[in-house]
Structure 1
């Protein structure tokens, strides 16, 4: 008889866990994967995918407004929020089915139940059964974090609930200044809601390039989104279907919904980690892992948002694949976290890869900046007051492009391609030698010839 029931037990059926299960099974491992909610995890069920569907739908209103400049006369149109939600649910159900089918086709066994650790090699299922495994992979993801308790916190929704609201709120207050807050600000505003964003910092998008932060804020405000910085929400009162949100500034805001998007925390509670001896990283609250995604217990690994490293779906997938290659494929692979492209599907869209200007100046003595801010060709006909930002951060000594930052339509699509060049250590001369594709916005990245700024760090005496 085999020493263990399975070779690998995966806790969590999100993108990272599913990838690990499929690849490990492909190597001949006996794999079992448990998911207590729905297959697909945060990204597919209540994150990236439904968010992007909502974003695309919210663009239609702007397209209709812009159409007049191109000669179109469009009759009065109407929008139905329940139809949007229902059609989104159908697509999510289809994707969930695909995830389930792909796992089973790979030869892994799926159990739709909660699973917790009993010890380093034993998992207890929600049914009461126990399964022993040679290796265990924890891929339970993360969840919205509302922060400190405040009076009326029970009235606040997160992005989870936002996808299932019975009707479109006329007025929305959103606390937060990162990805999720700004994406939902654009979504609700696009469908016609009056949106106010409340953020504790001096400006939105902490950690992004300063020019990106300033440009995005200006564009969001042009679209009618109110952004209040330097304050937080202290209390939420409910009056029937309405809410009054009180701020540290002393002012208050009336709305139909209040949403918090101030961050996410790793799903580590009640997993039995202490029974198995799995350590938590005291710096971020996630499961502590090394460069191979191994925890403090030799046979237990963790990937994705539960480790609180780089909380992006493609990163979780890469980590899951690397784990399976390393442990079951006998091909040691470590994930390289440098030059990871990322996008914020706000309106306007943000795409970025590599170093910000601030980061580059801290790491390199000579830094050249190439930046352009221009009116896109579509706006010349539509009349819309909007501008595109494109920025390259370059090592002044080697001419290597260290970072690329774009704010404007299709920024994410553009930066995905540029990320290849940046990762390959392309130089500014390589960009300059590339023939422009005209007429496009992207051609600006290969036609900027003169630095807009040069920073030279003086050597210490």
Structure 2
């Protein structure tokens, strides 16, 4: 099997490529390989892709990718992979099999802690990683852990690991004692169309109508989308004080759009405050946001 580094080093694309997994890596690499001419099949262990994203838009992304010829097989796992000459036979849990030219393992990465012998040091851990408190300290005093190796419920992103490292440096070097307080975190999938979000996921508060309002906007009415066939959708989560606390978007420019919302969420800005203090360049991506927040 191959990994993402192998795919990025290819000199030519294969006729048929199979991905095991449907996270960031699979969705992004499948997009550009399909655009380059490969037939692409994605094996999804469960019923959904990108489960940490707004599921309405994750499902919409699947629909758009299927329209581009990418095939998804849900509730499907590879049980055995056999190489026969220049082909691979992938046996599936449903009793069937498929023949492919190239197999990519994009099933996700787990914390690489097996060889650390953490039990000998009496450090608590779980299958998700090393357990840490709000100061990033493990169960053993003066031993800390940051990044993907921890079991914290935060996105496993480079930016998050860097933020943790700065926090830990300030705590240890400067003697600061306050617990870590994560800022608004933006994340995106560079598929086509793009999928991005920051702050609160609408799925997590959809039933809490007393404290949150969820509003969806269709971006195709923007002048920047004039003539485009791709429909853009943006969902904004407002709290009861009318602060923007979360955004999710699927569009050809979702990553850039959501990046504009990250400071709005992090700095706690209301709709009317944005309009009173910000007048972006027109026409530009930020103009869409200005129109929405009026």
**TM-score, length-scaled by structure 1:** 0.57
Per-residue deviation at 1:437? 4.4
Alignment of 1:2-401 (within 5 A): 156-165=1-10, 167-280=12-125, 282=126, 284-309=127-152, 310=154, 311-337=156-182, 339-365=184-210, 366-374=212-220, 385-395=229-239, 397-401=240-244
> For residues 223 and 68 of structure 2, what CA distance do their matches in structure 1 show?
18
2-structure distance, mates of 1:178, 1:375? 30
| Distance in 2 of aligned mates of 1:170 and 1:183 | 18
Q: Gaps (5+ residues) in structure 2?
A: none
How far has the Cα of 1:187 moved from its partner?
Answer: 2.9
Q: Does structure 2 retain, via aligned residues, the 8 Å contact 1:294–1:300?
A: yes
**Quick check: 1:420 aligned with 2:266?**
no
- Quote the RMSD (CA, aligned, Å): 2.7
Q: TM-score, normalised by structure 2?
A: 0.86
Equivalenced residue count is 290
User: Structure 1: which 5+ residue stretches go unaligned?
Assistant: 1-155, 451-461
Alpha-carbon displacement from aligned partner over 1:23-59 (angstroms, at most 9, x marks no partner):
xxxxxxxxxxxxxxxxxxxxxxxxxxxxxxxxxxxxx
SS in 2 for 1:259: strand
1:390–1:405 CA contact under 8 A, matched in 2: yes
With a CA cutoff of 8 Å and minimum separation of 6, indicate the structure with the bigger relative contact order.
1
More displaced, 328-337 or 341-350?
Answer: 328-337
In structure 2, C-alpha distance between the alignment counterparts of 1:377 and 1:170, rounded to whole Å: 38
Q: In 2 relative to 1, CA 443–214 (structure 1 residues): closer, same or farther, beyond 3 Å?
A: farther
Structure with bigger gyration radius? 1
Q: Give the SS at the match of 1:213.
A: helix
Tell me, yes or no, if the aligned pair for 2:167 and 2:180 is still in contact at 8 Å.
yes
Between the aligned partners of 1:358 and 1:285, the Cα distance in structure 2 is: 23
